[in-house]
Amino acid sequence: MGEMMSKVKVSTTINGDPVEYLCDAEETLLDVLRDHLGLTGAKEGCGTGDCGACSVVVDGRVVCSCLVLGAEAEGRKVTTVEGLATGDRLHPLQQKFLEFAALQCGVCTPGFLVAAKALLDRNPDPTETEIRFGLAGNLCRCTGYDKIVRAVQAAAAEMRKG
């Protein structure tokens, strides 16, 4: 948009790395991640907070990054799906999603993984109902709901073992 609009300079931490970027004041965090930072793991399924495909964790809380401004990430810690694996080693949730066939087209998967990770960070031993309601903000149209719940249960069990 050229000189007319003032850009905002943001310093933040994404997946453990310090990151600085310039964004437009009205640009969403989702667009910043996808268009400026090349982190296209978070997806846009609605842009209105209804589908959860854009879920990321900001300071320990799952948010719809389509409803957060890029500027709001200033000084915070952001985790996206790209930050779940450690090098080549998949996070237990990722591993269990594969084993339990909890994904099909996969476009909802990054959002589910991020939301599930935040859920398990808060509650390492959730009941099935807690998982179902904890992930009720994420839509899977394909639809892998039952398998997603089983995968999260299995990952939780594995993570508790340490």
Partner 1 sequence: MGRPEPRVDGRLKVTGNARYASDFPVANPAHACLVTSAIAKGRIVSFDLDDARAVPGVLDILTHETVGNEVHEPKFFGSGGTASTIHRPLSSAQISHAGQIVAIVVADTYEAAREAAYRVRVTYEEEDAATTLDSDGVETLPATKVRKEHKNPRVGDAAAALRAAPVTIDAVYETPTQHHNAIELYATTCVWSGEQLTVYEPSQFVHALKHAMAEQLGIDAEDVRVISPYVGGAFGSKAAVTPRTALVAIAARRLNRPVKLVATRAQGFTIATYRAETRHRVRLGAQRDGKLTAYVHEGWEATSRLDDYLVGGTETTAHIYDVPNVSTRVNVVRTDRATPGFMRSPPEVPYVFALETALDELAEALDMDPIELRRINDTRNDPITGAPYTSRSLMACYDEASRAFGWRRRNLPPGSMRDGDWLVGWGCATAVYPTFMGAATARVRLARNGATRVEIAAHDLGTGAYTAIAQTAAERLGLPVAAVEVLLGDSALPAAPVAGGSNTTASCCNVVAKACDGIRRRLVRAAMRADRGPLRGRKPSSVNFVDRHIAGEDGAKVSLADAFDMLGAPMIEEYAHWLPHGMEPDALKKLHLGSAALTGGAMEDRIAAAFGAELVELRVNVYTGELRVPRIVGAFAAGRIVNPRTAHSQYVGGMIWGIASALHEQTELDRRVARYVNTDLAEYLIPVNADVPDVQAILVSEEDRLVNPLGIKGLGELANVGTAAALGNALYHATGRRIRKLPLRIEDVL
The binding site for partner 1 (CB under 8 A) comprises 1-2, 4-5, 24, 26-27, 31, 34-35, 38-48, 50-51, 53, 80-82, 84-85, 90, 94, 97-99, 101, 103-110, 113, 129, 131-133, 135-149
Which of 19-27, 40-48, 83-91, 119-127 is the region at the interface with ligand FES (rule: CB under 6 A)? 40-48
Q: How far is the CB of 48 from partner 1 (least distance, A)?
A: 6
Residue 7 or 37: the one with the smaller Cβ distance to ligand FES is 37
Cα separation, 34 vs 97, in Å, equals 23
The residues that bridge with 98 in the sheet, in sequence order, are none
Task: Decide if 44 contacts 26 (C-beta within 8 A).
Answer: no
Residue 98 in contact with ligand FES, rule: CB under 6 A: no
Task: Decide if 24 contacts 15 (C-beta within 8 A).
Answer: no
Number of residues in contact with ligand FES, rule: CB under 6 A?
22
Q: Where are the alpha helices (DSSP H) in 28-100?
A: 29-31, 92-99
Query: Which of ligand FES, partner 1, none does residue 82 bind to, with CB < 5 to 8 Å depending on kind?
Result: partner 1
Contacts with ligand FES in 47-66 (CB under 6 A)?
Answer: 47, 49-54, 64, 66
The token duo for 72 is 């709001």
For ligand FES, the binding residue among 123, 142, 146, 157 (CB under 6 A) is 142
By CB under 6 A, name the binding residues for ligand FES. 44-47, 49-54, 64, 66, 103-108, 140-142, 144
